Amino acid sequence: MYYLAAVITVALILFLPRIGLLARIKDYRAAKEREQMEDALKHLLDRENQGRHATPESIAGTLDIARDKVTRLIENIEAQGLIESRGNNLHLTAEGERWALHVLRAHRLWERYLADEARMPLNKIHGEAQRREHNFTEAQLNELDAALGHPIRDPHGDPIPSREGKMNRAEGMSITAWQADRPARIVHLEDEPALAYQQILAAGLRLGQDIRIIEKNPNRYILSDGESEFKLAPAVASNIFVSAIPESEMLKREAIPLTELAHDQRAQIVMLDDSVQGFTRRRFLDLGLTPGTTIFPELTNFFGEPRAYRVRGTSIALRNDQAAQIWVKPV
C-alpha cells in the first residue's frame, strides 16, 4: 500500500499538467529558446542599424553559443518567417523587425525604470533589463511607457522605439572625432564593453554633461566640464558620444541650480536638467515647474531639507537633489 502511494505521489510530481516537474522543465526550455531567438533578432537589428550584416558567426559570438546550436536557432527563426538568408548574411523580415523593435523597446524602457525609479547603479541596469525584457506584452509595455512619461531615450542615450515601431537615429559622434576645445554635450555612453563603461562612470562622466577636450594625444584624453578634469585612455574615450550644445540651452550658462537661490530671492525657471526623466520629470511638470514660472524659497528646514518653495501660489517641498536639477535665473 505504501509502495503504491509512493509511486502515485512520484507520478503526480513528475507528470501533473502545468505544475508537474516535467511540465516545468518543458516551460523552462521553451522560455530559454524564446530568449535566444529574441536576442538573435536584437543582434540582427543592431547590425542593420549600423549598416552591417549579421552572420551565423556574429550571432554565435554575441550569444556565446556553439556553431551547431546557432545553425538550429537560425533554422527555427527562419521557419517562423522572421529572418531570411542571403548567402552567409542574415536579414530581418518586416515581421522580424517588428518583433526585434518590441524587445528592444522593452529593454530600454526597463533600463529607464531601473535607473530613474529603482535607483539601480548604471553599471547594473543592462543585465537586469536583459533578464526582464522577454515575455512582455504590448499592452504592458504601453502602460510602462505611459507611467514613465513616454521617455525617448534610455539612460545611456540610446533612442527608445515608439509604440508604432519607429525609432529615431542615435545622435552624436565619438569624442575622439570631436574638435578640441569646442564645447560639446554628452548624448550617449556606450555600455559595451562593460569595463570601459565602468571606467567612464567611475571617472564621474554622465549623460547630459557639457565638456570640452583640453588635451589629447595617442596615450590619453583629458576632458573638462569647467570644474573637474577627466583623464581617459583613447579606447575608453571613444565610447563617449557628443553633439553640439543647442543655442537655446546656452541659457543654462546664465542660470544657477535652485539650491543656490537665497532665501526669499525670486527667480524664473529656465529649464529642467536633462537628467530629469521618467516619473520625476512628470511630477515636476505636474507641480508647475515649467520654464518661465516664478519660484522662490519660502521656508527653511532646520535639518537642511526638504526645503519649501512657492510656485504658482502653492507651497511645495523639494529635496536638495531634486532642486539641484531645476535651473533658475534670479530676477
CATH of the domain at 302: 2.30.30.90
Identify whether residues 235 and 265 lie together within a single domain.
Answer: no
- Once rounded to an integer, what is the mean pLDDT over residues 40-59? 91
Domain of 58, CATH number, reads: 1.10.10.10
pLDDT band at 94 (very low <50, low <70, confident <90, very high): very high
Domain boundary pick from 92, 110, 132? 92
pLDDT grade for 194, boundaries at 50, 70 and 90: confident
Quote the CA–CA distance of 270 and 256 in Å, as a whole number.
9
Classify residue 53: in a domain, yes or no. Answer: yes
Average pLDDT, integer, range 35-44: 92
Q: Let me know: does 213 contact 223? Beta carbons within 8 Å.
A: yes
34 and 75 belong to one structural domain: yes
Residues above pLDDT 70, as percent of the chain? 88
Residue 114 falls within a domain, yes or no? no
The three cell numbers locating residue 88: 552567409
Please check whether residue 9 lies inside any domain of the structure.
no
| pLDDT tens-place string over residues 103-155 | 999 999 999 999 988 889 988 999 899 999 998 899 999 999 999 989 999 99
Mean pLDDT to the nearest integer, 270-299: 87
**What is the spatial distance between Cα 102 and Cα 258, in angstroms, rounded to a whole number?**
39
**In this structure, are residues 89 and 251 in contact, taking their beta carbons and an 8 Å threshold?**
no
Q: In the chain, where do the E strands start and end?
A: 83-86, 89-92, 173-174, 184-189, 210-217, 220-224, 229-232, 240-243, 256-257, 267-272, 294-299, 307-311, 314-318, 326-330
Q: Are residues 255 and 315 in the same domain?
A: yes
Tell whether 192 and 254 lie within a shared domain: no
Classify residue 289: in a domain, yes or no.
Answer: yes
The per-residue pLDDT of the chain, averaged, comes to 86
- Residue-level pLDDT at 247: 67
Domain boundary among the residues 92, 117, 146 is at 92
Q: Is residue 192 predicted with pLDDT exceeding 90?
A: no
Are 57 and 34 found together in one domain?
Answer: yes
Given 196, 213, 245, which residue is the final one in a domain? 245
The mean per-residue pLDDT over the stretch 89-115 comes to 94
| Higher pLDDT among residues 307 and 27, named by residue | 307
For residues 7 and 10, what is the distance between their CA atoms, to the nearest angstrom? 5
Q: Which three cell numbers stand for residue 316?
A: 511645495
Q: Is the pLDDT of residue 11 over 70?
A: no
Percentage of the residues of the chain whose pLDDT score is greater than 90 = 51
Residues 264 and 326 reside in one and the same domain = yes
Whether 26 and 87 map to the same domain: the answer is yes
The reply to whether 66 falls in a domain is: yes
The answer to whether position 141 is within a domain reads no
Q: How many domains does the chain have?
A: 3
- 150 occurs within a structural domain: no
- What does pTM read for this prediction? 0.68
User: Above 90 in pLDDT, residue 245?
Assistant: no
pLDDT at 28: 58
Assign 18 a pLDDT band (cuts: 50, 70, 90). Answer: low
Range of the domain at 87: 17-92
Residue 155 in any domain: the answer is no
